[in-house]
Structure 1
Amino acid sequence: MLINTQRLAVASAALVIFAASSGGALAQKKYDTGATDTEIKIGNIMPYSGPASAYGIIGKTEAAYFKKINDAGGINGRKINFISYDDAYSPPKAVEQARKLVESDEVLLVFNSLGTPSNSAIQKYMNSKKVPQLFVATGATKWNDPKDFPWTMGWQPNYQSETQIYAKYLLKNKPDAKIAVLYQNDDYGKDYLKGLKDGLGPKAATMIVAEESFETSEPTIDNHIVKLKSTNADVFIDIATPKFAAQAIKKVAEVGWKPMHFLNNVSASVGSVIKPAGFENAQDIISAAYLKDASDKQWDNDPGMKEFYAFMNKDFPEGDKLDGGTVVGYGVAQTLVQVLKQCGDNLTRENVMKQAASLKDFRTEVLLPGIMINTGPTDYAPISSLQLMRFKGEKWDLFGEVINADAGG
């Protein structure tokens, strides 16, 4: 009888423990709109058409990568439902698409939406709705503002830091430079310009001899290049998206202008900018990089790039390996997958942002050696290092050390 009582007590205790642990397991699963036991809905906005359509390849790469993840079983057993819309690089259209994603499609988060003007247009809306606007595809400095916009986070190094690095290089190597600047007349272009002026400091007033802005609605920027050449500047800072960057490179060569040419990183793609502009026209252009260049043979035996090439061959064969956008799409998609893995079964919007702000020395292997992704509750700038590079032959050659952008200016 005593034995039976003991057995009953043990069984009861086990039942209580089992119930408690089961209840704990159930309690651990937390979902917001857009997440279930089987699915994670992710929204995206890309310029598949319009003046910045060259960037559409990023969204297509991400779709292919998430399909690869789904084919392998998803994230913690959940499949990604990736919903991507075109905004034609138009801020009003971006607002319309963001509302559709949040209110009709009911996504958990909006990921890697592209363009400074478009993201600026939806930032207040996303933050008022408390929906993550995560890893936006723009390097504007404003995305690192967790105090005022806790639901918005960038991914790539910020624009101001990049041009501060160019300024630092000029002050050291060409302190008597006469600089002509071409920039897109919006938040993106002005951010880069501010970084250049901040980097040059008091010398900006004498070193910059011309500032020429252009609108994305213009069919060509040829007249702006002709105007800048007439200033006799010996340094050209080229702040333009791919279509206009390619035009600028071509026109600079056509008019026989031979300045030291700096090209912003967002248009350094060999496939979508340099090749269309003509390799012969791009010799010695200087830019900055944080990702490996898929057209560079030095990475052929690199384990991380081998994985990238395998992905392109198997999962995205129609994509152009030489287009820098495919490397960007692959790298940022891997970063989101890491965040979602860290979320575990707590797929609330709040936890998504918490995990995105808890990345410690994370590497997607398409990053250049020595560059890590780090974030914190007060640091919404995941990547803050760059390396200068010069175009030679048909590829970019890296030179100098990896520069931490925070210390770059």
Structure 2
Amino acid sequence: MAAVGRWLAAAGLAGLACLAQAQKAYDTGASDSEIKIGNTVPYSGPASAYGTVGKAAAAYFRKVNAEGGINGRKIRFVSVDDAYSPPMTVEQTRKLVEQEQVLLIFAPLGTASNAATQKYLNMKKVPQLFVSSGAHRWGDPEHFPWTMGWNVSYLTEGHIYARHILANRPQAKIAILYQNDEFGKDMLRGFLDGLGDKGKALVVAQASYELSDPTVDSQMISLKSSGADTLVDLSTPKFAAQAIRKAAAIGWKPVHYLANVSSSVTAVLKPAGLDNAKDILSAAFVRDPSDPRWQGTREQADFAAFMKQYYPEGDASDALNVTGYSMAQTMVQVLRQAGDNLTRANIMKQAASLDMTLPMLYPGIKLKTSPTNFHPLAGMQMVRFNGSGYDPVGGVIGQ
């Protein structure tokens, strides 16, 4: 009888072990010990200022691994350079999926770059998760169920600038500088839609530029000659800095609205000249770590400590590092929620059921998703640059 009892006990334990094992589910890139994540970001090329976003995310994953990982698993983050070039993004993404065999693509940066890989990743049913771009196309679960954005939609941001101008400068003469790609056109469309039919009459000039252009000097001279007293600047960091410098050089002092993607004090305003950038208006959804108002807060202290320990070569005053840090925190939350069911389908299910705050989001802004809402962030805070940091203007819009 004792032997039978021991046999039954052993069988019971074996059954429990099998049940526990059965509850685990993995797709390519996941195992009992590891979660393999792919990423493309421009470490070189015309948008290399954004490379620090990938480095900050990698640093946060190192922090998570040092603290024991996620549900006992370490994150293996494979981040590669695509030089902000869509053909290179396609090539690198295929390597990550087919050769590196990652579980998912996380925070790939750039609008045109990710548009080039969106159909491929959806066909492969590989999550293209938390795209680092505000293009409206990242929030279309009906047609692209494996793609989700992270940034506030460019359409929403454009609307916010339009609402601010209509409320505060109803007689403005508006000139618009925009990048001639999906990023610039999305933002432009949102801005013009936000102005409405009557408001569109306020626009007196538009000028676009190509990523391959050496400068935007000629565009700025042309926009000034229109007689505009308000500049809506929908450009990426390199060209935004050029536009700010050129406006000062030609003695043009319009009320200057600057796209969030180029609002970094470190990456854009300092190279442009802080005096030249004074009074620029933008919209924020993450805290600027260079802003004195956040000094002394626990959130800022934790971020500074993280940078010092895990990314000491990075600039702790650069808001782009806050973006990488915050996106990685979002990814970690999804993986924690997924538990032992690390299938690609469950990853997307968990990503579509978020309701959270993040330490370095601007106060009053939440991150929320659902099966029909693939735009996690919707609110922004209008801000004005005071020469050293940004002051809030009004309250959060669009949350």
Partner residue in 2 for 1:386: 380
- Counterpart amino acid of 1:367? L
Select which of 133, 137, 153 maps to 1:138. 133
Partner residue in 1 for 2:170: 175
Spell out the pairing of 1:269-348 with structure 2 (5 A cutoff): 269-348=264-343
Select which of 85, 88, 95 maps to 1:90. 85
Q: Does 1:23 align with 2:18?
A: yes
> CA offsets, 1:317-338, max 9 Å, x none?
1101121110000000011011
% identical equivalent positions: 56
CA distance in 2 between counterparts of 1:205 and 1:311 reads 46
> CA offsets, 1:262-284, max 9 Å, x none?
00000000000001101100111
Q: Does 1:186 align with 2:174?
A: no
Partner residue in 1 for 2:148: 153
Is residue 166–residue 199 contact of structure 2 (8 Å, CA) maintained in 1?
no
Partner residue in 1 for 2:396: 402
CA distance in 1 between counterparts of 2:88 and 2:329 reads 27
> CA offsets, 1:308-362, max 9 Å, x none?
10001111111011211100000000110111111111110111101111112x1
CA distance in 2 between counterparts of 1:205 and 1:108 reads 46
Is residue 85–residue 97 contact of structure 1 (8 Å, CA) maintained in 2?
yes
> CA offsets, 1:112-132, max 9 Å, x none?
000000010000000000000
Is residue 217–residue 243 contact of structure 2 (8 Å, CA) maintained in 1?
yes
Partner residue in 1 for 2:362: 368
CA distance in 2 between counterparts of 1:260 and 1:157 reads 23
Cα deviation, residue 11, structure 1: 6.4
CA distance in 1 between counterparts of 2:125 and 2:300 reads 36
Structure 2's unaligned 5+ residue stretches are none
Cα deviation, residue 37, structure 1: 0.8
Cα deviation, residue 48, structure 1: 0.7
SS in 2 for 1:402: strand
SS in 1 for 2:147: coil
Q: Does 1:212 align with 2:214?
A: no
> CA offsets, 1:161-189, max 9 Å, x none?
01101111111111111110000000000
Moved over 3 A (4+): 7-20
Is residue 269–residue 322 contact of structure 1 (8 Å, CA) maintained in 2?
no
> CA offsets, 1:61-87, max 9 Å, x none?
111111111111211111111111111
Aligned length: 399
Cα deviation, residue 292, structure 1: 0.8
Cα deviation, residue 224, structure 1: 0.5
Cα deviation, residue 14, structure 1: 5.1
CA distance in 1 between counterparts of 2:198 and 2:84 reads 35
CA distance in 1 between counterparts of 2:347 and 2:296 reads 35
Root mean square deviation of aligned Cα:
1.4
Structure 1's unaligned 5+ residue stretches are none
Cα deviation, residue 200, structure 1: 0.4
SS in 2 for 1:377: coil
CA distance in 1 between counterparts of 2:235 and 2:162 reads 17
Change (3 A) 1:8 1:184: same
